[in-house]
């Protein structure tokens, strides 16, 4: 794949059907193996973030004050991703939330999506865990320095690296 956009969302819960919302979005555009652009924003949703949610990713209600609203950031997200395929770790989760947030605004996206979790489980079935950080350690050899796990931008960058490395490995196997 010549170009793609790796995305990650941080949310207030596990299901948009139960009222959970996206409070951080990141997208990393990769063209011919090089990161060419990134988009990252906290999102002010107008409701408090629970302590349990904050324990997962460290995002607090205070951090969201003054940040862009969904109506400001999601149109930017659509402009950013353009027609590029989307890559995410546990893509059904991220895509479900993205579609839900876009639908609230009367917007939609039709980009194809690919899942590093699904491919990782198929390619490396014996790994004890297929969480992003474990899959990354296995595929990349170690976690890159400076990557902040469980925050959208760090996870989007890590997803892009894992995707690139898994694709390179698959191409190598087919030659």
Positions marked active-site: 150
Burial of 6 per CB tally in 10 Å (0-12, 13-18, 19+): buried
Edge-first strand order for the sheet with 34-42 is 34-42, 22-31, 3-11, 86-88, 113-115
CB 74 within 8 A of CB 27: no
The two three-digit tokens of residue 112, written as one number: 């194809």
The two three-digit tokens of residue 75, written as one number: 């149109």
């Amino acid at each position: 794949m010549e170009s793609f956009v790796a995305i990650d969302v941080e949310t207030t819960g596990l299901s948009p059907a139960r009222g959970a919302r996206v409070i951080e979005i990141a997208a990393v555009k990769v063209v011919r193996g090089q990161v060419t652009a990134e988009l990252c924003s906290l999102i002010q949703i107008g409701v408090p973030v629970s302590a349990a949610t904050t324990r997962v990713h460290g995002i607090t209600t205070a951090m969201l004050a003054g940040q862009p609203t969904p109506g400001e950031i999601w149109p930017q997200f659509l402009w950013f991703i353009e027609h590029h395929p989307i890559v995410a770790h546990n893509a059904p989760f991220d895509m479900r939330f993205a579609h839900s947030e876009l639908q609230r605004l009367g917007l939609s996206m039709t980009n194809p999506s690919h899942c590093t979790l699904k491919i990782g489980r198929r390619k490396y079935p014996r790994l004890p865990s297929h969480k992003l950080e474990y899959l990354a350690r296995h595929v990349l050899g170690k976690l890159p320095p400076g990557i902040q796990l469980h925050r959208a931008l760090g996870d989007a960058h890590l997803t892009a690296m894992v995707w690139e490395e898994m694709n390179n490995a698959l191409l190598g196997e087919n030659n």
